[in-house]
Structures are given as C-alpha cells and as structure tokens.
Amino acid sequence: MVLGLPAAVNRTKTFQGAVCVLNSLQYKSSASERLHVRQENPGLQLQNMHGFLQRTGITVNELDKLNVIHVTGTKGKGSTCAFTERVLRGYGFKTGFYSSPHLVHVRERIRLNGRPISEQLFCKYFWETYEQLEDTKDNRGGSMPFYFQLLTLMAFHVFLQERVDVAVIEVGIGGQYDCTNIIRKPWVCGITSLELDHCSLLGDTLEKIAWQKAGIFKPGVPAFTVRQKAGPLRVLLHRAEDIRCPLWVCPELDQYETLVGPVHLGLTGEHQRSNASLALQLSNSWLQRHRARETGDDLSLALPSCRPGSQAAIFQPSSAMLEGKLSAGDRLVGTEPEVELRFCHLLPGWSSHHRQHAGLCQLVQTGNDAQR
C-alpha cells in the first residue's frame, strides 16, 4: 500500500495510481541491510519469485511458451537485446522485450514490437498482476514482491497475454540468482563482455562474476558469448560443460564483412561490434530452432555443427538480418552494393553506459516513440 493513502484510493485503477503503487514497492530497508540479506542468502530473491509467479496464476511451464532469448553480461546487454529484437521483428515476428533500467519512463522496460507498452496496457496488466498478489498475500505471510520482481512478473504476464512469438529478456544483476532466471527453458542464451560490476554481490574477480553470469545456462540450450579474457572464459566453458549447455564464442564482426561488405553501426564504440556479432548469433540460433519446430525436425539439428567451446560458425546473414524493417512498408536494402546493419534505429535497453552516448535522445525520437 502507498503510505498515507487509504485502500480505496490505492485500488483506483489508473495509470498514475499504478505508478504510485509500483514506486511504493521500492526497498524500504537501507542499502547496507539489503546487501547483508543478499550476501547471507543470495538465492532468496529467486526462491521468492517462484511463489510470486504461482500467485499471479502463471506456471513455470507457461513461461516456456515465450520462446525466450536470455541475455546477461556486464556491458552491452541492452544493446545486444535490442539488436536481436530488431532482427527478429524484421522477420515479421511479434516481439516482446524486457530491459532495465528505464531512461525516461517505466513503460520503456516492457516493449511490444519495439515500442514501450502504452499507458492503457501498462495500467491493465499492472493491476491484473498486482491485485493477484495483493489478494493472496495474507496467506503468504503478507509478502509482496519488490519493484524489479513485480515488473518482471508483469512482463511475463504481458508477453503471455499479448501472445508474442519471442521474448527477449535482459538479466537485471548477475544471472544465477536474478529474478529473470526463473525461466527454465529459454531457446538460446547470450553473455556479453564481462567486467567487474556489483562486486559486493557477484564477487571481486572476473572469474567469480563469470560464474554468476553463467548461471543462466540451461541443459541442452545453445549459448553464445563474445570474446572474453582467458580466466573468465575458462569459467564460462567449465560451467557450460557442468550444466551440459553447448557454448560457442562469437566471431568478430569483421569476419562477416568478408561476406557482406562494410558493416556500419548506429551506435559508436568498438564494443558495439561485439554486441552486434552476438545478436546475429542469437537471432540466427533462434530462427534455426523456430524452423525446426515448424517443420517437425529434431531440435538437435538446429544446434550449430561446430564443436561446443569453439568459435561459432560464420554464416551469410539474410537481408532481413542486415537491414531489418523499420516499418511495415520499408523495403530491404540487402541487395545494394554496401549492405548496412541499420541498428541505428534501435533503442537499447538503458544502462548507465548507454546514457553516456551522445545523440541517444535522437534514437528515442526516431525509432521508439511511445504509444499514446
């Protein structure tokens, strides 16, 4: 409940009321207290998510229907997810995209076909999710999810109700114990560049952080990572082997250019080339599995033919991968002399790193005007 407001007002099902209630779910304990709890019992947050999910009326089996692409890492998670979503949207699939944090408004975290959900849809799905949890809390010791947990539950609800073909899910923090790791059968997983981050929670070395990030690996589910330093890469490979998850290292984007010519990205920075290469592998793997399911082929045939632990195969990107459709009427330019990956029209999931890019607001206006 929102402090100082009666219950009747809290249940006023408006968009602003939803935002007010959501903000009331921010942590009320101090940062040091929260850190202590998570250090003492790092799996508690994920454990609680199972109970919250059940209370919303969603089963773990239903999450399997979302055909998830699950992405973690330190730098470039949002960009990689956005690149991947844009490619698959270019193929005509209905996409869901869950990312964090938001830049301007909370609706940016949950996207349908590249656009933040409207105030109307946010209001509808928020109250459906929240009231299920509120009405069952007395039988669960009064427990309610925190801010990020509720948004994650709401995103699952939105994507299931809206019947997306694919849900691109960005991990919040780490991987092993993250709320989003309640997903048990993603179609493909990705790990972006690893650096020291959230050391108090994830560990003070790249190897410890790699162990946490690799927690999203699932048995038999293909996974891809960008090139990493030797230490953390060894950890990723060992964890993949232990989990029986086939893991490949993405080729450099330069290697695709031998097939398609110069590749120009709309986001600056050499790291974006690694993100784009990972996005190509993720989207290609997802498409291979989709085709196998549609034709009734053995899903194992959708796995890359090269040996796990090695470099992933370089393939000829389709015109839809290279261009993507900016709108329903846009033509593809894959046959022009210089083929471009027009990722400049994407809106990455926002992180502190993305906010440093000049011209980012133009991307917001150009490619992702919010629905009214």
pLDDT of residue 340 exceeding 60:
no
Find the mean pLDDT for residues 65-72.
97
pLDDT given for residue 35 in this prediction: 63
Give the whole-angstrom CA distance, residue 276 versus residue 92.
20
- Domain hosting 199: range is 65-115+166-320+336-367
Find the mean pLDDT for residues 33-56.
83
As to burial, measured by CB atoms within 10 angstroms (0-12 exposed, 13-18 middle, 19+ buried), residue 115 is middle
pLDDT given for residue 30 in this prediction: 57
Which residue in 268, 281, 274 sits closest to 344, CA to CA?
268
pLDDT confidence of 324, banded at 50, 70, 90?
Answer: very low
Render pLDDT for 281-291 as a digit per residue (tens, 0 to 9).
Answer: 999 999 999 99
**Is residue 14 one of the residues assigned to a domain?**
no
Give the whole-angstrom CA distance, residue 325 versus residue 89.
7
pLDDT given for residue 62 in this prediction: 96
**Is residue 206 one of the residues assigned to a domain?**
yes
**Is residue 123 one of the residues assigned to a domain?**
no
Phi and psi based region of residue 163 (left: phi greater than 0; alpha: psi -120 to 50; beta: remaining): left
**Is residue 147 one of the residues assigned to a domain?**
no
Which segment, 140-144, 168-172, 252-256, is predicted with the most confidence on average?
168-172
Amino acid at residue number 156: F
**Is residue 149 one of the residues assigned to a domain?**
no
Is 133 in contact with 145 (CB distance < 8 Å)? yes
pLDDT given for residue 157 in this prediction: 98
pLDDT of residue 51 exceeding 70:
yes
Q: Which of 7-21, 26-40, 150-164 has the lowest mean pLDDT?
A: 26-40
pLDDT given for residue 28 in this prediction: 60
Give the whole-angstrom CA distance, residue 209 versus residue 247.
17
pLDDT confidence of 301, banded at 50, 70, 90?
Answer: low
Counted domains in the chain = 1
**Is residue 8 one of the residues assigned to a domain?**
no
pLDDT of residue 56 exceeding 80:
yes
Cα distances (Å, whole numbers) of residue 270 to 230, 250, 260, 264 = 20, 15, 19, 11
Between 197 and 37, residue with greater pLDDT: 197
pLDDT given for residue 330 in this prediction: 32
Q: Which two tokens stand for residue 164?
A: 């997306």
Residues of the chain above pLDDT 70, percent: 79
Render pLDDT for 216-267 as a digit per residue (tens, 0 to 9).
Answer: 999 999 999 999 999 999 999 999 999 999 999 999 999 998 888 888 776 7
DSSP for residue 193: B
Give the whole-angstrom CA distance, residue 300 versus residue 289.
9
Q: Which two tokens stand for residue 244?
A: 């029986």
Q: Which of 38-42, 179-183, 239-243, 300-304 has the lowest mean pLDDT?
A: 300-304
Q: What's the CATH code of the domain at 357? A: 3.40.1190.10
pLDDT of residue 127 exceeding 50:
yes
| Radius of gyration, alpha carbons of the chain | 20
pLDDT of residue 39 exceeding 80:
no
Find the mean pLDDT for residues 320-338.
38
**Is residue 138 one of the residues assigned to a domain?**
no
Q: Which of 266-270, 346-350, 359-363 has the lowest mean pLDDT?
A: 359-363
Find the mean pLDDT for residues 54-83.
95
Whole-number mean pLDDT of the chain? 82
**Is residue 242 one of the residues assigned to a domain?**
yes
CA torsion 9-15-16-17 (nearest 10°) is 20
